[in-house]
């Protein structure tokens, strides 16, 4: 029997006793901590998403203001048969695709080089009319602003309509621009929205954007909006329903929910006193959990004993974070069953012996 127990019988990983023996107090390099109310208060947090004050404090862009890179459309009516810009027998002419140059100017025939940037289309119309009045009687001018390279943002990622969109009066904020792009094509609970503005960037959960108006920031020309699916995950190993890498999904997942997501504890092999969450904990959090200062990232093995009176409540309140490993140890009798199975030659014989013993 001793020889067999020393053999390398198959198992899903270390047992509870072996993990506990690797604790710092036993000469190991991991802090083994039983989860209690103090641990839940100090270790529970999720990475904060949000926008800096530079994003939050930016006012709405004047949607009608003309900017370098914008494209304008110009229509001129003349009250003469043979006008400056109109052909014989025509009363109007249309000038399309007038692009505002990098210095903010456009060129209009017979009106010359005119500064457009900083004006509204109506203000620019008055300037062009004044320039033409000395050369043609009572000219009538209209100016329209078309989406060009100036006041635009790029929307990419998990949206139905990726592309470059103009900042217009109805689309001056983040949520309205996402709606203009057709909305997101992933579940809202796992969608993360990132806005890049120059060298600065910020991100927010889509659900927070909709439920908290402060995150519905004003957009600026040149902004890049990226919608991504949440990439956070944890790894599940041991005596559970499935051993795999699992997306976290919602913003906060408890240990109970994490176990349920992989099919629950194995009713045949799992040790409910040995549910571990393995994590590299930042020094600040580790110091608070341990009650003493530590330096650098610390390896932590949090133990959840589901057989305790409040064990399930503690597991329900303990949050699983990105990169965690959820490991469930095998019950002590499982290894004995394997040894007996090796002696008797089959697992059926083991169950028969158990029946006789009972």
* High-pLDDT (> 70) share of the chain, %: 86
pLDDT at 63: 63
Whether the CB-CB separation of 262 and 236 falls below 8 Å is answered with yes
Per-residue pLDDT averaged across 14-24, rounded?
88
Kindly tell me if the per-residue pLDDT of 338 is higher than 70: no
6-46+252-347, what's its fold? Outer membrane lipoprotein wza fold like (3.10.560)
53-61+151-229, what's its fold? Outer membrane lipoprotein wza fold like (3.10.560)
Can you list the alpha helix ranges (DSSP code H) found in 223-331?
255-261, 283-290, 311-317
pLDDT at 1: 45
**Residue ranges of the chain assigned to CATH 3.10.560.10:** 6-46+252-347, 53-61+151-229
pLDDT at 334: 61
Model confidence at 260, pLDDT cuts 50, 70, 90, reads: very high
Highest mean pLDDT range out of 46-55, 89-98, 219-228, 250-259? Answer: 219-228
Whether the CB-CB separation of 70 and 101 falls below 8 Å is answered with no
Model confidence at 4, pLDDT cuts 50, 70, 90, reads: very low
Whether the CB-CB separation of 35 and 353 falls below 8 Å is answered with no
CATH number for the region 71-146 comes to 3.30.1950.10
Distance (Å, whole) CA 255 – CA 326: 8
């Amino acid at each position: 029997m001793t020889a067999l127990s020393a053999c390398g019988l198959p198992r899903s990983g270390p047992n509870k006793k072996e993990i506990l023996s690797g604790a710092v107090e036993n000469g190991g390099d991991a802090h083994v901590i039983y989860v209690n109310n103090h641990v839940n208060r100090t270790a529970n947090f999720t990475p904060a998403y949000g926008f800096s004050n530079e994003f939050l404090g930016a006012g709405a862009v004047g949607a009608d203001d003309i900017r370098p890179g914008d494209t304008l459309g110009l229509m001129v009516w003349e009250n003469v048969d043979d006008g400056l810009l109109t052909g014989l027998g025509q009363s109007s002419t249309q000038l399309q695709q007038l692009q505002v140059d990098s210095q903010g100017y456009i060129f209009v025939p017979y009106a010359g080089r005119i500064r457009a940037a900083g004006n509204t289309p109506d203000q620019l119309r008055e300037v062009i009319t004044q320039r033409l009045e000395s050369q043609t009687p009572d000219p009538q001018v209209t100016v329209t602003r078309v989406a060009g390279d100036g006041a635009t943002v790029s929307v990419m990622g998990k949206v139905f309509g990726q592309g470059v969109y103009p900042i217009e009066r109805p689309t001056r904020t983040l949520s309205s621009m996402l709606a203009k792009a057709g909305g997101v094509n992933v579940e809202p609970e796992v969608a993360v929205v990132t806005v890049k503005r120059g060298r600065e960037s910020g991100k927010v959960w889509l659900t927070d954007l909709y439920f908290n108006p402060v995150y519905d920031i004003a957009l600026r020309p040149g902004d890049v909006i990226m919608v991504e699916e949440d990439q956070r995950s944890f790894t599940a190993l041991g005596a559970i329903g499935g051993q795999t890498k699992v997306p976290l999904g919602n913003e906060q997942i408890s240990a109970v929910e994490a176990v349920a997501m992989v099919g629950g504890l194995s009713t045949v092999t799992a040790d409910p006193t040995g549910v571990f969450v393995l994590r590299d904990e930042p020094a600040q959090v580790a110091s608070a959990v341990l009650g003493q200062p530590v330096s650098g990232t610390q390896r932590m093995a949090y133990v959840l004993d589901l057989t305790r009176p409040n064990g399930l409540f503690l597991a329900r309140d303990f949050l699983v974070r990105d990169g965690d490993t959820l490991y469930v140890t095998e019950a002590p009798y499982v290894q004995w069953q394997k040894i007996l199975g090796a002696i008797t030659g089959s697992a059926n014989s083991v169950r028969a012996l158990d029946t006789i013993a009972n």
